[in-house]
């Protein structure tokens, strides 16, 4: 059998990731912080990070401290920012491993300063400002007090200041400009206080690609790095980003079912005639949602998934008896047809970031270069 010896696998083209990064940096005109949380949006965080770094990215970022460990264990020495909470139990190790911590609430300040002092070091932080996302971050009117507290205690180095857009995926949403204005005001206040952080960053992929004037001293992007489009139906301004991930499987069973034969749990699909039904060894535990309307590609044609998606398998209705082992594409291109993660996101009523990020770790990743 040609190809890879797995019932299902993911091919990640690292040259595409590297090129996407190059193009994003060129587009931005400032350094890039590439987001590699959630196993690099499902692409494999270590391999993706290496490609991202050879593409010229300066900074990496993840959601949780544990996500930095495989990166540091792979001799990746670039700075890494953790967006979420670094637990008190993790702080010493984070400082020792040169991991940048997000400072998003006044309660963190005393503990961080105390641990850094105990270790005889500085802890590097990026101060997160909530300019309208309503998630993590210090509110604009509380920033100055917090910074004064930090400076009074010492041992905390505010290397960066950042904020996060809530509506950048919606063209012309008024909150985009309002958040930008609030962030600029905060930066002016901080400058007046004598703080000149090296890194000031606010974009996500949507803002970077579609909203000029949001770059500051560094841009932050996840989805775009992997070629995932974040504004539904709006093409990339530069047609230079490509999808890096392809999810494939093989038909593991093909049989002619008699008319009136029910398919899968709940028997929600019953053959209307004698039908050829194939089994594809992927299911909801792999990240293929148990929703109706799914399709896969075989020989460059769309085939409907029929009956409920199981944990590890699903069934497709075929126009003819394909041989066992026939290649199936779930995400990606085949012939002139394609099903990308954006289409799955629309079908599953979720974010464009979701389908690849939710791909199970049990699916082997194969790294290719074009």
Ligand X SMILES: *Cc1c(COP(=O)(O)O)cnc(C)c1O
Asked if residue 295 lies in contact with residue 288, where contact means CB atoms within 8 angstroms, the answer is no
Query: Cβ 315 to ligand X, closest distance in Å?
Result: 33
User: According to the binding rule CB under 6 A, does residue 221 interact with ligand X?
Assistant: yes
Residue among 19, 179, 204, 341 that touches ligand X (CB under 6 A) = 204
User: According to the binding rule CB under 6 A, does residue 164 interact with ligand X?
Assistant: yes
Residue among 100, 131, 205, 356 that touches ligand X (CB under 6 A) = 205
Residue of 26, 255, 259, 265 with catalytic role: 265
Query: Cβ 56 to ligand X, closest distance in Å?
Result: 17
| Count of residues of this chain found to bind ligand X when the rule CB under 6 A is applied | 13
Query: Cβ 280 to ligand X, closest distance in Å?
Result: 28
Is 26 among the catalytic positions? no
Exposed (0-12), middle (13-18) or buried (19+): which is 252, by Cβ within 10 Å?
A: middle
Residue recorded with tokens 């993790």: 90
Query: Cβ 164 to ligand X, closest distance in Å?
Result: 4
Residue among 12, 17, 25, 83 that touches ligand X (CB under 6 A) = 83
Window 103-142: residues binding ligand X (CB under 6 A): none
- Comparing CA positions, the residue from 21, 22, 25 lying closest to residue 36 is 21
- Distances in Å between the Cα of 190 and the Cα atoms of 70, 148, 185, 265, 355 are 35, 10, 9, 59, 39
Q: Is beta strand 275-280 parallel, antiparallel or unpaired with respect to 269-270?
A: unpaired
User: According to the binding rule CB under 6 A, does residue 363 interact with ligand X?
Assistant: no
Query: Cβ 224 to ligand X, closest distance in Å?
Result: 6
Window 25-44: residues binding ligand X (CB under 6 A): 35, 37
Asked if residue 89 lies in contact with residue 71, where contact means CB atoms within 8 angstroms, the answer is no
Nearest-angstrom CA–CA distance, 152 and 148: 6
User: According to the binding rule CB under 6 A, does residue 50 interact with ligand X?
Assistant: no
User: According to the binding rule CB under 6 A, does residue 248 interact with ligand X?
Assistant: no
User: According to the binding rule CB under 6 A, does residue 230 interact with ligand X?
Assistant: yes
Asked if residue 282 lies in contact with residue 288, where contact means CB atoms within 8 angstroms, the answer is yes
Is 104 among the catalytic positions? no
Backbone angles phi, psi at 116, to 5 degrees: -60, -40
- Distances in Å between the Cα of 347 and the Cα atoms of 2, 137, 352 are 31, 32, 10
Q: How far is CA 84 from the centre of its chain?
A: 15
Range in contact with ligand X (rule: CB under 6 A) among 218-226, 238-246, 283-291, 325-333: 218-226
Active site residues: 37, 265
Judged by the rule CB under 6 A, the positions of this chain that interact with ligand X are: 35, 37, 83, 164, 204-205, 220-224, 230, 353
């Amino acid at each position: 059998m040609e190809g890879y010896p797995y019932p299902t696998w993911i091919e990640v083209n690292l040259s595409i990731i590297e090129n996407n990064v190059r193009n994003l940096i060129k587009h931005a005109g400032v350094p890039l912080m590439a987001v590699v949380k959630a196993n690099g949006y499902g692409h494999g965080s270590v391999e993706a990070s290496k490609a991202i770094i050879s593409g010229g990215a300066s900074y990496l970022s993840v959601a949780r401290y544990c996500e930095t460990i495989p990166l540091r264990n792979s001799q990746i020495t670039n700075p890494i920012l953790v967006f979420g909470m670094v637990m008190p139990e993790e702080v010493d190790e984070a400082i020792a491993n040169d991991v940048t911590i997000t400072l998003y609430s006044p309660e963190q300040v005393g503990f961080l300063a105390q641990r850094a002092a105990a270790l005889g070091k500085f802890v590097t932080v990026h101060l997160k400002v909530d300019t309208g996302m309503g998630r993590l971050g210090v509110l604009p009117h509380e920033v100055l007090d917090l910074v004064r507290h930090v400076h009074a205690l010492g041992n905390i180095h505010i290397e960066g200041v950042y904020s996060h857009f809530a509506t950048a995926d919606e063209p012309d949403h008024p909150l985009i400009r309002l958040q930008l204005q609030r962030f600029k005001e905060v930066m002016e206040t901080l400058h007046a206080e004598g703080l000149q952080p090296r890194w000031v960053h606010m974009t996500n992929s949507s803002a970077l690609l579609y909203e000029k004037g949001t770059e500051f001293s560094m841009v932050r992007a996840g989805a775009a790095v992997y070629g995932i489009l974040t504004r539904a139906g709006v093409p990339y301004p530069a047609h230079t980003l490509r999808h890096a991930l392809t999810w494939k499987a093989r038909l593991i069973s093909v049989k002619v079912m008699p008319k009136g034969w029910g398919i899968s749990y709940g028997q929600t699909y019953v053959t209307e005639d004698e039908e050829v039904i194939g089994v594809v060894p992927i299911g909801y535990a792999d990240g293929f949602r148990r929703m109706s309307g799914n399709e896969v590609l075989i020989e460059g044609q769309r085939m409907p998934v029929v009956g409920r998606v199981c944990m590890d398998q699903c069934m497709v209705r075929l126009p003819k008896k394909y041989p066992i082992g026939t290649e199936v594409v779930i995400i990606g291109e085949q012939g002139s047809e394609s099903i990308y993660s954006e289409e799955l996101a629309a079908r599953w009523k979720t974010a464009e970031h979701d389908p690849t990020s939710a791909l199970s770790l049990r699916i082997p990743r194969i790294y290719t270069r074009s």
